[in-house]
Amino acid sequence: MPKEEAAQLAKKVQSILSNYQHDKGMLVSILQDVQTEFHYLPKETLVEVSQNLDVPLSRVYSVATFFKALSLTPRGRHLINVCLGTACHVRGAVKILERIERDLGIKSGETTKDLGFTLGTVNCVGACALGPIVIVDGEYHGQMKTDKVKALFESYT
């Protein structure tokens, strides 16, 4: 990482740590804020957090990998989840997932190169009557159809 970029990154992490008075008991919240800032947890931020809180790097890593909301790899600005629960599955969720994968050029679990979207799948989100469901940034889009997928993404770009 270039020096200037590293300095910027350290400054942002410092500011987050200050918000929590460098309290190591707030490690999860601190990592969540770092994740919000960078859309993922760059390795350098974990080192910075570890050194400043005096928490072993291995501990920081184990927290970072334990919580699903935290990610060590870059995530897109928008998170798309396709429900593959039974009710959505029987209503064509797999076809919708395949269409999204084709349109975005990524597989489930991946992020587009421009960091626009990260694609994932979930099991039943408790809104089966609306299936098949695609969730974008927590917003439910029910009765999804393959030919509605493109317009959906365009509304997020």
Show contacts with ligand FES in window 66-85 (CB under 6 A).
83, 85
- Residue showing the smallest CB distance to ligand FES in the complex: 85
Residue with tokens 């460098």: 22
Strand order in the sheet with 117-122: 117-122, 78-83, 134-136, 139-141
Q: How far is CA 117 from the centre of its chain?
A: 9
Q: Which is nearer to ligand FES, 114 or 129 (CB)?
A: 129
The interface region with ligand FES, picked from 28-36, 54-62, 127-135, 148-156 by CB under 6 A, is 127-135
* Residue from the set 27, 53, 80, 88 that interacts with ligand FES by CB under 6 A: 88
Enumerate the β-bridge partners of residue 141. Answer: 134
Residue 11 backbone dihedrals phi, psi, to 5 degrees: -65, -45
* Residue from the set 127, 136, 146, 152 that interacts with ligand FES by CB under 6 A: 127
What is the C-alpha to C-alpha distance for residues 66 and 75, in angstroms, rounded to an integer? 17
Q: What residues make contact with ligand FES under the rule CB under 6 A? A: 83, 85-88, 124-125, 127-128, 131, 133
